[in-house]
Amino acid sequence: MNTDYDICVIGSGAGGGPIAWRLAEAGYSVLVLEKGPWFREADLCKDELACCRRPTYIPDQREEPRVVETEDDDGNWRARSTRRSGWNFWNGTCVGGATNFMSGYFHRLKPVDFHLRSTFGPIEGANVVDWPISYDELEPYYTLVEREVGISGRIQPHPHLEPRSTPNLPYPPLREHRLAAHVDRACHALGLQPFPTPRAILPHPAMGRSGCAYNGGLCGSSGCSTGAKGSSRAALLDRAVTTRRCEIRPHSMVKRLLSGPDGKVSAVEYFDAKGRLQRVDAQIYVVACQAIESARLLLRSPGPRHPHGLANGSGQVGRNLLFAGGGAGSGRLLYRRFSGKEADALREFGTFINRSLQEWYIIDDSQFGPKSKGGTIDFVHRHPAPIARAHHQIEGEHGLLWGKPLKRRLEQHFREGPYIKIEAFCDWLPVADCFVGLDPTVKDKWGLPVARIRTGQHVQNLRVGWYLAEKGAEVLRKMGAENVVAFAASTPPTNLVAGTCRFGNDPATSVLDHECRAHEAENLFVSDGSFMPTGGSVPYTWTIYANAFRIADAIDRQLHQMT
């Protein structure tokens, strides 16, 4: 059968980029459909208004809202449109997706993450299962990401260091802020083993990209104007296009996937930049829209063999939505406590702290309870965003501040010493009340039903988050930081999303097989974070990248068998 392309990839982030590049390099014709625009380095700047205050890189929620269900104190679920609520689950709608705006903290999963249920047993109220693959099967692809995306850092022994096939990362660590030495001293005094945080940021020019410009810790939420950050666009898609076998169509909103009586996907319908409905077909289809939007697309793509949504015979599409559990905290070192030379070193603002702890990746502490899965603590700069930070200073003990009291508060906040922030990551346990569906009434600007997101969570997320945040706070206190706070919150972080199309060996309880091929549609793969049954205790991006490279090899094998 003649088709327009060998592979059609829907979405261009961490799940789409590796497949497009790998298969274009292998000689296949690849089409990438991306809903958003195609920004280049020249379009990406460190502008708080653009990245964080206006919908420059994400959809306008007046045109593309979601509906979010939250639980009230009486156990009832209340639905509200994000047009009014302030919730925002969009993280980058453009070529390269959210990888353009990530901070680039790259940690691998550990072997234990692949068999949580077998290791720790069932958890009441949580749908925890083992993965259908092992760490050993994914390890070569983690290594591939290090090389092709570009990961910097230094491998240093610590209690939960995962097995590696190479002794070190391919690029040396980024330049470090003086605060890193203070973290090291405090950790060593407490008997802890900190290590440099791996970052998907090049420390120097390589692979046709420039090195880091060290412009003030603005990586998170901002695009990279040098190409140093390993976004899917800069690291992979730009290279895929140069093969002349990969075409990227921005401003292409996919309406639905069509399928025939045999269950296989037969075509994609999408709206082009002018709102015209177009159709394209391929031999293999890959959905990589991010967990919420991938589930939404499958659910609005019923067919003769898929009456409840494409690949949804098990009823599992949209289920087991994952965010990231964890805690946070902060403290501040005051300049006046240090000598002039040391204070001047602390005033430098541009380099990175880049320190992590994984002492408690498994918590074996009788005061906590039975041995449990723990997580990762990263020490980072507080985001410099001055508008947001200034806004938080206007509340005084007796109401709003203005005039000289506000000036003095702002002066104290911005000039007396650097803040250091704790970011702690732990598993967001999958539960029945955390899922994605289609809203029955609210539509987007194309007339399509929007995603309806229920945000239930397990109490264990908070228990572990509090534990890790307090451990991080102990380090800050040992450093001599003042005003140290630590906490865990029940609100899900909207920038870390996975689940909804989990993979597994049983078609009755999973959407995808062990190669992330749909059980019910042999030419359909899902390659973003949707495949994850559990999320681990690290940010998801490195694992999504690695698994997408693994899926690319599975697609290559399948295409060979089809010819």
Q: Which residues of the chain have pLDDT under 70?
A: 1, 216
What pLDDT, on a 0 to 100 scale, did the predictor assign at position 300? 98
- Tally of CA atoms within 13 A in the half-sphere of 309 that contains its CB: 18
For 33, residues 6+ apart whose C-beta sits below 8 A from its C-beta are 8, 9, 10, 11, 249, 252, 254, 268, 270, 280
Q: What is the DSSP string of 389-453?
A: HHHTTSEETTEE--HHHHHHHHHHHHHS--EEEEEEEE-----TTEEEEEEEEEE-TTSPEEEEE
Write down the pLDDT at residue 326: 94
Taking alpha carbons only, the member of 3, 13, 14 closest to residue 36 is 13
At 458-491, the pLDDT tens digits run: 999 999 999 999 999 999 999 999 999 999 988 8
Give the pLDDT confidence score for residue 1 in this predicted structure.
57
Distance in angstroms (rounded) separating the CA atoms of residues 75 and 70:
9
Q: How far apart are CA 530 and CA 288, in angstroms?
A: 8
pLDDT computed for residue 401 by the predictor: 87
pLDDT at res. 284? 98
Amino acid, res. 42 = A
The whole-number pLDDT of residue 216 equals: 65
Helix-, strand-, coil-residue percentages of the chain, each rounded to 5 = 30, 25, 50
Q: Find all residues with CB under 8 Å of 469, minimum gap 6, and list them.
A: 326, 327, 328, 329, 422, 424, 486, 487, 488
pLDDT of residue 142: 98
Query: What distance in Å separates the CA atoms of residue 293 and residue 430, rounded to the nearest whole number?
Result: 18
Q: Give the relative orientation of helices 179-189 and 459-479 as an angle to the nearest 10 degrees.
A: 100
Domains located in the chain, CATH noted: 1-41+50-102+107-150+231-322+452-457+496-563 (3.50.50.60), 157-223+325-427+458-491 (no CATH)
Bridge partners (DSSP) of residue 79 are: 69
Cα–chain-centroid distance for residue 151? 16
Query: 0.95 cut: is pTM over it?
Result: yes
Q: Which two tokens stand for residue 181?
A: 């030495």
Strand 419-426: give its sheet, edge to edge. 195-196, 355-357, 375-381, 419-426, 325-332, 482-487
Distance in angstroms (rounded) separating the CA atoms of residues 417 and 343: 9
At 402, which amino acid appears?
Answer: W
Element (H, E) at 459: helix 459-479
